[in-house]
Chains A and B, each alone.
Chain A
Amino acid sequence: MKKKKTFYATCVNVIAWVISLICLIPLLIIILNSLKDKQTAAAMDLSLPAFPIQWENFAVVIEKGKLLTSLGNSVTYSVGSVLLCAVTAVMAAYVLSRNATKCNKLLYLYMALGITLPVNYVALMKVMQFLHINNTKLGIILLYTAMQLPFSVFLIHGFIARIPLDLDEAASIDGCGSVRLFFSVILPLLKPVLATVFVLTFLNTWNEFVSPLYFLGSSEKWPMTLSVYNFFGMYFMDWNLICADILLTSLPVIVVYLLGQRYIVSGMTAGAVKG
């Protein structure tokens, strides 16, 4: 009986390792090949890089791929939309949750519906032109904000519902105005859900490349994700450079993932599991 149990436990552990490895292989390929020279990287295999390790790949990529410009663009788009989205979403979710009149309930549903709705990129171009934000950085920031708002409002709305109303009443009786009530009493309590919104919005906007593909004609405005593509055409077979570029582009995402894993999981499972 005991033998059977140990055998079973070993099996389970082996399976877990095999699946983890399958998930890790592409990342390993990227890391290993970003350190090789052109000839050995062409195979894109899992062999270890030979000495001397080609650190200069990264320098070449940064220089030739103009990565600093696209890094600046990505930071502008992500940070801009993360801040704008968090501020507008938290204020909207707060009012719509606390003052749940019929009209506000409908407004909340109207916003939450955006989680599923597709973006009509073709007609969006018309709207962007009308607002004079087509092919501008501001346009991308506003568009990302619009795209991230529904889920953010949904997350924060659910969180605020669990904060007792007594707090608001006590603060109001003490003479706290509506603006101060929100900023000094409620907002500090929303730190966990705001962290989730920050992390998720950052990851989504950093990885987004469809909107720039539609709306940014010039490559100087491209985010880092697309710079990989720019590069792919230029040095078609230089996988060592492509891998170096991919690694640099993914680095912020991996770092944010490792640091904010708790917030990502809590955000992504919100609404899915009612415990």
Chain B
Amino acid sequence: MRNGKTYPIWFAISALVIYTALFVVPSLIGIGYSFTDWSAYTTDLHFVGLKNFRLIFSADENYTKIITNTLMFTLLTTVLKNVLGLLLAVLLTKSVKMLNFHRGVMFMPSVLSTLIIGLVFSSILNPSTGILNTFLRAIGLDSLAVQWLTSTKYAFGTVIAVDVWRGTGYIMTILIAGIMSISSDYYEAASIDGASGIQKFFKITLPLLMPTLATTTVLNVIYGLKVFDMIYALTNGGPGDATTEVLYTEVFKKFGTGQYAVGTALSSVMFLFMLVIGFFMIRVMTKGEVEE
């Protein structure tokens, strides 16, 4: 029992208490509340069974669209960020001049506040006065100068594009670290055998980068499912009928209108979903640690 004395458990108590009280407890009681009619307008609660969940998964409400939007956003941003991040990482591990400058600049969007990025982009993408459309018209591509954020046709794609602009540098940075940890012996041996650059990429870089790509995928999926800031700042769910609405913007709206029970039911669906992903993530991210 020497260990318990040298490493007293009370060291961990404050972290466990804060985390449990403000992170875990809300999620758990939230599941309980999702079976009630909790709202801002009634003082006493009634048990309503699965009513809220039936509402969420019923076809005549917008929720199926919201869930599809969330999943599509997650899928598309994950694929795009991984592919573009990989291309950039390969580019920036070559003999480019001012390497650190480029790496630093490309990573920078991920440290700026999403809210601010959203505001600036809403100006850049303004259909009549924004610089993107002004630029497109100036080079004669008038047909491409569309209503980026205000038409139901393009808004979803635009939101994804801005999010990819913001998040690719982060994925790139992780992948650069992954590429740098690959031993140069492989590349030297391949060069001697006369392999081309493309062959080296597909036969050496890509296979050895798979564990890192697994991690970036998990990180992207977690981010995508929980996305709120970017969409809130750019379109706030609009234009029209829930074009870019995702789970967390909907939870916020339900909170704002006082429909707490539906809000917490949506959060609980998300919680259970993320719990499964969480176990998977921990297996990916602690793989090295367990072996030590």
Contacts and interface: CB of A to CB of B under 8 A. Distances in A.
Interface of A: 9, 12-13, 15-17, 19-20, 22-27, 29-30, 42-46, 84, 88-89, 91-92, 94-96, 98-99, 101, 104, 107, 109, 111-128, 131, 142-143, 145-147, 149-150, 153-154, 157-158, 161-162, 168, 172, 178, 181-182, 203, 206-207, 209-210, 213-214, 225-226, 228-229, 232, 239, 242, 246, 249-250, 253-254, 257, 261, 264-265, 268-269, 271-275
A54 B157 CA distance: 37
B282 A20 contact: no
Please name the 5 residue pairs, one residue from A and one from B, whose CB atoms are nearest each other, closest first: A123-B30, A274-B288, A92-B15, A146-B22, A116-B278
- Main secondary structure, interface of B, reads helix
B11 A91 contact: yes
Contacts of A23: 105-106, 108-109, 165, 169
Nearest to B216: A272
Contacts of B8: 95, 178
Contact of A272 (B25, B178, B225): B178
Interface of B: 3-9, 11-12, 14-16, 18-19, 21-27, 29-30, 33, 88, 91-92, 94-97, 101-102, 104-109, 111-117, 119-121, 123-124, 126, 129-131, 134, 165, 169-170, 173-174, 177-178, 181, 211-212, 215-216, 219, 222, 225-226, 228-229, 248, 251-252, 254-255, 260, 263-264, 267-268, 270-271, 274-275, 277-279, 281-282, 285-289, 292
Nearest to B3: A99
B129 A44 contact: yes
A271 to B, nearest CB: 4
Contacts of B88: 19
Given A16-B102, A29-B131, A96-B12, 16 more contacts: A16-B92, A30-B120, A99-B6, A109-B282, A116-B277, A120-B30, A149-B15, A153-B15, A182-B11, A210-B228, A228-B115, A250-B113, A250-B116, A261-B107, A265-B177, A274-B287
B119 A228 contact: yes
A271 B124 contact: no
Contact of B19 (A15, A111, A210, A246): A111
A91 B14 CA distance: 9
Contact of A126 (B33, B112, B211, B282): B33
Nearest to B129: A43
Contact of A273 (B33, B119, B120, B181): B181
Contacts, number: 286
A257 B229 CA distance: 20
A147 B9 CA distance: 22
A158 B4 CA distance: 20
19 contacts: A9-B95, A12-B95, A24-B105, A26-B121, A27-B112, A29-B120, A95-B8, A96-B12, A121-B255, A121-B263, A123-B33, A124-B26, A150-B19, A178-B8, A228-B119, A242-B119, A265-B173, A271-B288, A274-B287
